C-alpha cells in the first residue's frame, strides 16, 4: 500500500525514452512489479499469517506434544497418533463424519440445483420464494436447532404426529434414536444450507446464453434433454465450486450437531470437530486434540486435491 506512492520516485521522473540507456532493465522492472504485488497482498497476508497460518503450524507442532495449555509442553513423538488409532471414540467420530458428509453433500447439491432451476423461471412471486429458501441460512443456528428438535420430538413433535396421521404407526424416534439421529441432523442441515448454494446456482444459470436453449428447442429437444445437455454442463464451474465448499463444510460440521444432539444419543452423531473441542477445550489435552485436527485437515485437503484433479481432467 505504501510503496505504491514511493515507486514513482524511484523511477526516472522524465518519460522513459524508447531505447535510452537509462530505462530500467527488464529484470529490474519485473522486480518492481513483484514488489508492488507483494505490497498489495501484505495487509491481508499479515492477518492471514498471524491469525491462521501460524496457529495451523503451531497446531501441527502441538500434535507431537503433550500440553495442557499451561505447563511446559512435553515431547511425546507419535504417542498422540498411537492413542488415536486405538481409541474407539475417534473411529466412531470419523465414521459419523463420513456418514454426515455422504448424506449432506449430494442432498444439498441436488436440492440447491433443483430449486435454482425451478426459481429461474419468470414467475410471479419468484423473489418471494427465493427469499424464503435463503432465509434459513441467515437465521440464528441455535434457533434453527431448537425448532428442529421440537419438530422432530418423538411423541409430541408435529412431524411424527403427521406421520401417525397418514398411517405410520411407529414413526422414527429421530434425535432420540441411534439409527435416525444422523438422518435428522442431515435433514436439518440440508434445509439450512440449501438456500446459500441455490443462490450460487442461480447466478450460474444467469450466465447460460438463452440462444442455446432456443436452438435446442428448434431441434426438438425435450425439457429433460435440455437440462442434461445444456444446463448441467454449462454449470460445471459452479458445481465444482459448490462441491468443494460443501465438502469442506461437511467435514468441519460442529455447531448444528453440538446444539441439536451434542453428539448423542450415545455417540451416534459424534463428529470429529466435537472430539477436537471436547479433548482440547473441555479436557485440556491440546496435544491429542491437535493430532485429531491434523487428521481432519489431511482428510479435507486430500478430498479437495482429488476434486481439483478430477475437474482439471474433465476440462481437457
Partner 1 sequence: MKRRPLSTVVSTLAATAAALALLTACGGGSSDSQAAGGKTTVKLALWNYATTPEFKALIDGFEKANPDIHVEPVDILSDDYNEKLTTMLAGGDSTDILTMKNVIGYAQYANRGQLLPLTDEASKLDPAKQSGLDAYKIEDKYFALPYRQDFWVLYYNKTLLKQAGVPESKLENLTWSDYAALAKSLTKGDGGSKVYGAYQHTWRSVVQATAAAQSGGDLLGGDYGFFKDQYQMTLDLQKAGALLPWATASTQKVTYNSMFSTGKAALMPMGTWYAATLLADTKSGKTKVDWGVAPLPQRQADGKVTTFGSPTAFAVNKNSKHADAAKKFVAWAASEEGATTIAKAGVTPSLQSQTILDTYFALPGVPQDAVAKKAFKPDQVVLEMPVTDKTADVDTILTEEHELIMTGEKSLDAGLAEMSKRVKNEVG
Say what angle helices 236-251 and 88-118 make with each other, to 10 degrees: 150
- Minimum CB separation from partner 1 for residue 175, in Å? 6
Contact call for residue 31 and partner 1 (CB under 8 A): yes
Residues 2, 13, 121, 140: which binds partner 1 (CB under 8 A)? 2
Question: Per-residue contact track with partner 1, 264 to 303, x per CB under 8 A?
Answer: xxxx----------x--xxxx-------------------
Contacts to partner 1 from residues 191-220, by CB under 8 A: none
- Minimum CB separation from partner 1 for residue 213, in Å? 47
Choose the stretch contacting partner 1; rule: CB under 8 A; options: 65-73, 104-112, 226-234, 288-296: 65-73
Contact call for residue 73 and partner 1 (CB under 8 A): no
Contact call for residue 163 and partner 1 (CB under 8 A): no
- Minimum CB separation from partner 1 for residue 276, in Å? 13
- Beta-carbon contacts of 76 under 8 Å, excluding residues fewer than 6 positions away, are 64, 65, 66, 287
Contact call for residue 311 and partner 1 (CB under 8 A): no
Whether a cis peptide bond, with omega within 30° of 0, leads into 265 is yes
- Distance in angstroms (rounded) separating the CA atoms of residues 183 and 104: 9
Contacts to partner 1 from residues 84-123, by CB under 8 A: 87-89
- Minimum CB separation from partner 1 for residue 113, in Å? 32
Judged by beta carbon, residue 155 or residue 315, the one nearer partner 1 is 155
Contact call for residue 173 and partner 1 (CB under 8 A): yes
Contact call for residue 66 and partner 1 (CB under 8 A): no
Say what angle helices 3-10 and 26-48 make with each other, to 10 degrees: 170
- Tell me the three cell numbers of residue 280: 482440547
Q: Which positions lie near partner 1, rule CB under 8 A?
A: 1-3, 6, 9-10, 28, 31, 35, 39, 42-43, 46-47, 50, 68-71, 87-89, 146, 149-150, 152-157, 173-178, 263-267, 278, 281-284
Amino acid at each position: 500500500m505504501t510503496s505504491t506512492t514511493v515507486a514513482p520516485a524511484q523511477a526516472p521522473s522524465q518519460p522513459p525514452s524508447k531505447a535510452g540507456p537509462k530505462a530500467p532493465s527488464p529484470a529490474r522492472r519485473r522486480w518492481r512489479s513483484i514488489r508492488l504485488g507483494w505490497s498489495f497482498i501484505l495487509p491481508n497476508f499479515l492477518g492471514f499469517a498471524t491469525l491462521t497460518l501460524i496457529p495451523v503450524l503451531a497446531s501441527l507442532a502441538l500434535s507431537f506434544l503433550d500440553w495442557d495449555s499451561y505447563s511446559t509442553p512435553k515431547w511425546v513423538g507419535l504417542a498422540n497418533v498411537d492413542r488415536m488409532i486405538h481409541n474407539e471414540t475417534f473411529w466412531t467420530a470419523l465414521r459419523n463424519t463420513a456418514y454426515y458428509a455422504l448424506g449432506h453433500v449430494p442432498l444439498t447439491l441436488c436440492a440447491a440445483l433443483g430449486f435454482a432451476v425451478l426459481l429461474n423461471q419468470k414467475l410471479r412471486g419468484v423473489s418471494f420464494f427465493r427469499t424464503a429458501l435463503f432465509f434459513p441460512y441467515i437465521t440464528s443456528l441455535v434457533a434453527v436447532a431448537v425448532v428442529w428438535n421440537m419438530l422432530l420430538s418423538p411423541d409430541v413433535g408435529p412431524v411424527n404426529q403427521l406421520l401417525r396421521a397418514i398411517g405410520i404407526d411407529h414413526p422414527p424416534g429421530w434425535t432420540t434414536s441411534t439409527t435416525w439421529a444422523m438422518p435428522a441432523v442431515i435433514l436439518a442441515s440440508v434445509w439450512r444450507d440449501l438456500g446459500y448454494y441455490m443462490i450460487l446456482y442461480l447466478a450460474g444459470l444467469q450466465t447460460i446464453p438463452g440462444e442455446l436453449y432456443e436452438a435446442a428447442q428448434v431441434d426438438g429437444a425435450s425439457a429433460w434433454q435440455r437440462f442434461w445437455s445444456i444446463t448441467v454442463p454449462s454449470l460445471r464451474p459452479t458445481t465444482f465450486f459448490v462441491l468443494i465448499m460443501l465438502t469442506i463444510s461437511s467435514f468441519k460440521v460442529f455447531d448444528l450437531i453440538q446444539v441439536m444432539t451434542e453428539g448423542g444419543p450415545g455417540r451416534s452423531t459424534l463428529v470429529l470437530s466435537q472430539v477436537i473441542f471436547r479433548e482440547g477445550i473441555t479436557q485440556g489435552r491440546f496435544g491429542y486434540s491437535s493430532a485429531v485436527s491434523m487428521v481432519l485437515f489431511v482428510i479435507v485437503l486430500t478430498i479437495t486435491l482429488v476434486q481439483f484433479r478430477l475437474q482439471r481432467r474433465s476440462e481437457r
